[in-house]
Amino acid sequence: METPLVEILDTNLQVMANTSFLYIIQVGMKYDIFKALSEKNTEKALQRVKVQNKMLLNRFIEVLNDLGIIHKSPEGHRLNKFLYEVKIFKRDYELILSDWIRFLEKIYEMVDYAFLTHDHPYVSMDFDKDADFWDMRMRSQFASMYRKIIMDFGEILSGSSVIDIGCGSVSPVEFAKQVGPNGYYLGIDYSSALLEVAKSRIEEQGYDWASLKEIDAHIIKPHCRYDVAIMSFVLEYLKNRQRVIKRTIESLKGGGRLIIIDPFKDSFENVAALEFFESLNKDFVGYPTKAEISTMLEEEGFDVNIESPGRGILLIKKL
Please give the share of the chain, as a percent, with pLDDT higher than 70: 97
pLDDT in tens, 196-234: 999 999 999 999 999 999 999 999 887 889 999 999 999
Average pLDDT rounded to a whole number, residues 184-188: 96
Q: Estimate to the nearest angstrom the gap between the alpha carbon of 170 and the chain centroid.
A: 15
At 86 the pLDDT is 67
**What are the residue ranges spanned by the domains of the chain?**
146-267+285-318
At 1 the pLDDT is 46
In contact, 241 and 260? CB cutoff 8 Å: no
In contact, 120 and 275? CB cutoff 8 Å: no
Instruction: Fold for 146-267+285-318, please state it.
Output: Rossmann fold (3.40.50)
What is the distance between the alpha carbons of residues 91 and 114, in angstroms, rounded to a whole number?
36
In contact, 280 and 303? CB cutoff 8 Å: no
- Average pLDDT of the chain is 93
In contact, 193 and 168? CB cutoff 8 Å: no
CA distance readout (Å), 163 to 280, 282, 319: 28, 25, 18
pLDDT in tens, 52-97: 999 999 999 999 999 999 988 887 888 887 777 766 667 778 899 9
Which is it for strands 210-214 and 184-189: parallel, antiparallel or unpaired?
parallel
Helices (H), 50-188: 54-66, 90-95, 99-114, 131-138, 141-154, 171-179
In contact, 312 and 261? CB cutoff 8 Å: yes
What is the distance between the alpha carbons of residues 306 and 266, in angstroms, rounded to a whole number?
16
CA distance readout (Å), 90 to 49, 94, 95, 265: 40, 7, 9, 25
At 255 the pLDDT is 94
